[in-house]
Structure 1
């Protein structure tokens, strides 16, 4: 068995003997007013907050999260389904993975569903969000941290707790339904109105909402967990006068790598160590959003200013005030040391196996219509979820509609996805559910690394070409899609099915899961 395969199985199946516990959370999904940048609008929120409540657990725990759907505002989606990005589900619990019409049907108003996550040996920074339509743009997104009490990199930092979590996000004053309607008419994603750091931001002409303050003590080393919970926007993060040492990417511990600026695509997560080694003062935390498709289009929305997206790093003893230095977009020119993805190395050296299958993939936008094509096919959600079809006997491509864009592989194989260079295309953050992949070639570099490349679950596909590999040792139907959700909604996705027979033998759906599709199909169309 290849090394990564063995690690994944240990992650999924092995319970940690000293910390294993059952943690239970209950989140009410409600329509409530929200004004993270001072502009009031209705949102879709977990327990009425944005971001949603922080979920935490330790390696080895079992986490049960009950979502009560109390949505009533039909100007936005009212059915929901929750995805836990960065959490690996094994085959027995694949039905709880949360991908609508792949592993489950959504659940409608006045109903509840409990997701059970058996964490095994996995740890790291993850998050949760609605996977239905663009619903998470309305606020249904939050952070999920899995701590490792025996973290082998713990010697590098002193503090890692709820106070050292940094989320960055994009925000629109219009509802997701309104932005989808605009996108459908124009083929252009409406420009956001603000960028948020830990749920707070500003827009041009709006109130000067106080920025989030990160308190630090001089001489202390902090592990900050950066999670980009955006729907569209790439975010560049830096801290004035400080460096950052990367020690985790998308749940995979990495060999320490120093930088002073990070680029996070939607869905990406990093842990960085920052030492409070500067003079006692206030320093800007820059969280600058950039449109990965059109980085110079800020002028299209007069209320959006990317430099207003930030927080404050405040040393104990510093005045209760904003930094006196300019609001910049971070280090520039020779002072900039932007992290290069291809330089990352897993903490445990993990060579990728040679591929058994090589898939050459292209992405393109259909002319004169709002459709994104993945290898010439626009993905469309089926009425019967992929998992149900497999449990009923589907085993090869002929058992699925072409629009389901479903790829089927035997167990214990290695699949290479080769995104060909395309100078006409924009940057897409591709995310694979249920697995992590080796980034054999990063979009930003010509280097091909088949010895010890980065391991993650979100990687950029752009005009430079990207090569990914993953193994099929975890049977299940796993979404593979662009994490820009307008593109995903317009068809930029596929389903990677590992070992259909293994799924039938090992998946053990619950009675509550069995009831989801009949209940969803009985809903009035307006409620779906």
Structure 2
């Protein structure tokens, strides 16, 4: 009897999948990427990356099961480009993931590329450039995957997509960052914080008693933001494409690249409009200029003729905000804690000055340095040697994962800043972190770093939260687990673009022999490599004869001589300056000769008049 029931259920499921597949469609976007002018904060007009002559960029919208085709032409003229569809698993389509020199060559000016894959997921995502740190120049926007079968589909009347971001007045290439003039690695300060790509104030028109789904996406380059609505609470139903059990909350902390979907039910009155508040995490900023506005007010508009009050918040109070801890969220599918890992990867984040006097980011002792051949293309051309991590170079920090291994990553933070880490191709279980969100998030920022102790930790959750971007606390740690069930080359990196620029990344090469069986590079992608002058065969050094010979590979900047820390450099510089001034004083004094001894005064000297 049980077997008959199971057979019937399997048959019903198969019919459902066939029905879903017949409903799927192909959604095509043609993107002509060019420079346009924009002034989103009303303070400064600048060049931004536009699509089809417009900015803000279009939101990509598809239904689960659709095929998404994006034809991109790079018309920037002076910059290479690409697109990463953030949060998409790209199962069996690793070549469509988008990060340059990881899964593809950069798309040079005048070249075109086609991204073509089936969207098998649901939820809230975004897309952005993943070449030469270009997305802060405006090349980023939401990507929404609608799902009419979600458990909360009938629980809301309408939906809004809200993006938040930091904003810079200068092009990324014009901002001095990795330089000996910035030995502490202080991140450049943004000039504004945008809400749906503006600071002019947005009204979300709502009706009393209705429930709305708000999709929240931080598409910034650096700064996390707090989010809340005055006199309203909400229910969290999704994080990073993972449905969660409906959970009440009133404040969220949304790091760059993270997404939330929340249900908000309106009041039964039209007497007032209510501020929607976003507040930048000021703890991430080394300094706060007097003209940098950290908080933004937009509105749930019940009544267009009623007042639109400013939010009642000050910069001093934002550190007291107590957001909901995402570790407490339970996935709606109640996926259990993964078993003990087959492979444990233990890493520590360091920020160090290297031999050129500039500050770099490292995982253990490696600052990610891109290879001469995209890593996926090395996998495909290396034959049996694809299972040897050496062929991918010493400075890509490549780890070989076996198919279906349970992988645990322990990430300790030796830095006083927080880091939102993103893993391409996967969502991961979040099983431990210290300290937690809220008032304790910066508990370890002062004093010594606290590393994870596998023999002494809090209990792992039974149904851990899952997401694709998770925040590493200052001088704390987190522990995540995932199953290596998606053969491909997947970069794991901090999503603060300044830190990625400094090398805070590594590469997971998952089941390389299965990659060779599953992945076929389209001819269009090879043409992109040819136009860019980038090799698409060989090891990390471009060697096609001996894959174990890395002569000529790209290398990270060398180490400082022992004892040359940032403080040591500063002390040395000031010591040299003092010595130079001292020698100069002695030289000048010596050249002036020794004055003759003055005769003793016969009358009292007026000290006050002498000093004058």
TM-score > 0.5, shorter chain as reference: yes
Tell me the TM-score normalised to structure 2 length: 0.76
Render the CA deviation track for 1:85-107: whole Å, top value 9, x for unaligned.
0111012x111110110100011
1:439 equivalenced with 2:451 (yes/no): no
| Residue matched to 2:327 | 342
Q: How many angstroms apart in 2 are the aligned matches of 1:441 and 1:17?
A: 38
Q: Aligned-pair distance for 1:444?
A: 3.7
Q: Aligned-pair distance for 1:278?
A: 5.8
Q: Aligned-pair distance for 1:324?
A: 5.4
Equivalent pair of 1:363/1:373 in contact (CA under 8 Å): yes
In 2 relative to 1, CA 410–64 (structure 1 residues): closer, same or farther, beyond 3 Å?
same
SS at match of 2:327: helix
| Residue matched to 1:194 | 192
Render the CA deviation track for 1:271-302: whole Å, top value 9, x for unaligned.
001111164222111111125534xx452x33
Larger Rg: 2
SS at match of 1:416: strand
SS at match of 1:134: coil
SS at match of 1:455: strand
Tell me the TM-score normalised to structure 1 length: 0.88
Where in structure 2 are the equivalents of 1:112-511 lying within 5 Å?
Answer: 112-120=112-120, 122-160=121-159, 164-181=160-177, 185-186=181-182, 187-201=185-199, 210-277=200-267, 279-280=269-270, 281-291=272-282, 293-294=284-285, 297-299=286-288, 301-307=289-295, 309-315=296-302, 317-319=303-305, 321-323=307-309, 326=312, 338-351=323-336, 352-367=338-353, 368-393=357-382, 394-420=386-412, 422=414, 424-445=415-436, 447-462=458-473, 463-511=475-523
Q: Aligned-pair distance for 1:330?
A: 11
Aligned to 2:73, which of 68, 71, 88?
A: 68
| Residue matched to 1:99 | 99
| Residue matched to 2:583 | none
Equivalent pair of 1:234/1:292 in contact (CA under 8 Å): no
Equivalent pair of 2:33/2:76 in contact (CA under 8 Å): yes
Q: Aligned-pair distance for 1:184?
A: 6.5
SS at match of 2:20: coil
Q: How many angstroms apart in 1 are the aligned matches of 2:268 and 2:403?
A: 52
| Residue matched to 1:4 | none
Structure 1 unaligned segments of length 5 or more: list them: 1-9, 202-209, 524-528
1:26 equivalenced with 2:26 (yes/no): no
Q: How many angstroms apart in 1 are the aligned matches of 2:19 and 2:126?
A: 21
Aligned residues: 488
| Residue matched to 1:87 | 88
In 2 relative to 1, CA 323–183 (structure 1 residues): closer, same or farther, beyond 3 Å?
farther
Equivalent pair of 1:430/1:483 in contact (CA under 8 Å): yes
Q: How many angstroms apart in 1 are the aligned matches of 2:239 and 2:333?
A: 13
Q: Which runs of 4+ in 1 moved over 4 A?
A: 180-184, 327-334
Q: How many angstroms apart in 1 are the aligned matches of 2:54 and 2:19?
A: 32
- Which range moves more in the overlay, 494-503 or 147-156? 147-156
| Residue matched to 2:50 | 45
Q: Aligned-pair distance for 1:19?
A: 2.9
Q: Aligned-pair distance for 1:451?
A: 1.9
Q: How many angstroms apart in 1 are the aligned matches of 2:122 and 2:283?
A: 29
Q: How many angstroms apart in 1 are the aligned matches of 2:323 and 2:496?
A: 22
Q: Aligned-pair distance for 1:147?
A: 0.4
In 2 relative to 1, CA 130–443 (structure 1 residues): closer, same or farther, beyond 3 Å?
farther
Equivalent pair of 2:297/2:311 in contact (CA under 8 Å): no
- Which range moves more in the overlay, 272-281 or 493-502? 272-281
RMSD: 2.3
In 2 relative to 1, CA 311–395 (structure 1 residues): closer, same or farther, beyond 3 Å?
same
Q: Aligned-pair distance for 1:42?
A: 1.1
Q: How many angstroms apart in 1 are the aligned matches of 2:411 and 2:136?
A: 27
Equivalent pair of 2:279/2:318 in contact (CA under 8 Å): no
Q: How many angstroms apart in 1 are the aligned matches of 2:367 and 2:18?
A: 38
Q: Aligned-pair distance for 1:332?
A: 7.1
SS at match of 1:362: strand
SS at match of 1:273: strand
Q: Aligned-pair distance for 1:405?
A: 0.6
Q: How many angstroms apart in 2 are the aligned matches of 1:36 and 1:66?
A: 27
Structure 2 unaligned segments of length 5 or more: list them: 1-13, 437-456, 536-612
In 2 relative to 1, CA 14–416 (structure 1 residues): closer, same or farther, beyond 3 Å?
farther
- Which range moves more in the overlay, 13-22 or 470-479? 13-22
Q: Aligned-pair distance for 1:522?
A: 6.9
Equivalent pair of 1:45/1:138 in contact (CA under 8 Å): no
Render the CA deviation track for 1:105-145: whole Å, top value 9, x for unaligned.
0111122111112112x110000001112211110001100
In 2 relative to 1, CA 359–292 (structure 1 residues): closer, same or farther, beyond 3 Å?
farther
Q: How many angstroms apart in 1 are the aligned matches of 2:370 and 2:95?
A: 17
- Which range moves more in the overlay, 339-348 or 41-50? 41-50
Q: How many angstroms apart in 2 are the aligned matches of 1:321 and 1:61?
A: 43
Q: Aligned-pair distance for 1:18?
A: 4.9
Q: How many angstroms apart in 2 are the aligned matches of 1:176 and 1:193?
A: 13
SS at match of 2:359: coil
Equivalent pair of 2:178/2:502 in contact (CA under 8 Å): no
Render the CA deviation track for 1:494-523: whole Å, top value 9, x for unaligned.
000110000001112111112222211179
In 2 relative to 1, CA 127–17 (structure 1 residues): closer, same or farther, beyond 3 Å?
same
SS at match of 1:486: helix
- Which range moves more in the overlay, 494-503 or 38-47? 38-47
Q: How many angstroms apart in 2 are the aligned matches of 1:431 and 1:57?
A: 23
Equivalent pair of 2:105/2:534 in contact (CA under 8 Å): no
In 2 relative to 1, CA 154–365 (structure 1 residues): closer, same or farther, beyond 3 Å?
same
Render the CA deviation track for 1:144-196: whole Å, top value 9, x for unaligned.
00000111122332223xxx000000001111112244766412211110000
